[in-house]
Amino acid sequence: MSWETSVSSEGEDAVIRGKPLEDVMDMDFSDAIWLILKGEKPSEKESELFNTILSSSIDHGIGNPSTVSARTVQSGGNEMNTSVAAGILALGNSHGGAIEEAMQILSDNRSPEKIVETYLENENRIPGIGHKIYREEDPRATKILEEADNLGLSGEATEKMTRIRDRFAEQKTDLVLNVDGAIAAVMTDMGWEPELGKGFFIIARTPGIVAHVREEMDEKPFRRQKGEYVGDE
């Protein structure tokens, strides 16, 4: 069996998306990520914004599912790759997955009013708005949107995401536009497809998970969380 791919080749003349590997090695890492995912180099403005996006999600404390999972698995005496993989596997629709769903609704033809109406009718959470910690403002989202606007990269998707948040505030409750919503908006405006939404977060968060796993290596092994038996309530 042989694989066919347009991503890269191997050997002495290895290429990444058609560019010699040696040339890719001269690029900033975030630019190389853009290249391998999209098949082209970013513009200077796209490069600046994409770097901000990746940095915005590199870590967010110890209490989230991916970090807890990674450190717990490491405390069981596992290797770095096993523990990091556990953290990545903990990323899901409620932790890192909202970017993809938000990009999907931003890419369809429904109006913000119709989107909010549908989610409210089904009693579902709208991806990209609301946060357990940030009540007034998600500073990460604010910085991303401000930078996108300053660079002239804001477009219809960013406007639509903002209108969704505002419409939800009118119809139910005032929630912040979170970092997932901001990333979904500007990445859609820059021409990215929703299928890569989770991938952006995986790439951005992995260094943070690695850092937590390394720190956990110096802790006493086998973390046990306290639990309270409540019977058959």
Domain 98-194 matching CATH 1.10.230.10: the answer reads yes
Where do the structural domains in the chain lie, given as residue ranges?
98-194
Is-contact 62 212, C-beta < 8 A? yes
Q: What is the pLDDT of residues 124-173, one digit of tens each?
A: 999 999 877 777 899 999 999 999 999 999 999 999 999 999 999 999 98
107: enclosing H helix or E strand: helix 98-107
Q: Once rounded to an integer, what is the mean pLDDT over residues 2-18?
A: 93
112 sits in the region (left: phi over 0; alpha: psi -120 to 50; else beta) called alpha
- The pLDDT assigned to 233 comes to 66
Q: What is the pLDDT of residues 27-41, one digit of tens each?
A: 999 999 999 999 999
Q: What is the pLDDT of residues 54-93, one digit of tens each?
A: 999 999 999 999 999 999 999 999 999 999 999 999 998 8
Global pTM value = 0.93
19: enclosing H helix or E strand: strand 19-20
Is-contact 71 223, C-beta < 8 A? yes
Measured on CA atoms in the order 69, 74, 78, 84, is the torsion positive or negative?
Answer: positive
- The pLDDT assigned to 98 comes to 92
- The pLDDT assigned to 11 comes to 87
d(CA 129, CA 133): 12
d(CA 10, CA 111): 46
- The tokens describing 12, both together, are 């002495």
What 3-state class would DSSP assign to 15?
Answer: strand
Report the chain's mean pLDDT, rounded to a whole number.
Answer: 94
Provide, rounded to the nearest whole percent, the portion of the chain with pLDDT above 70: 100
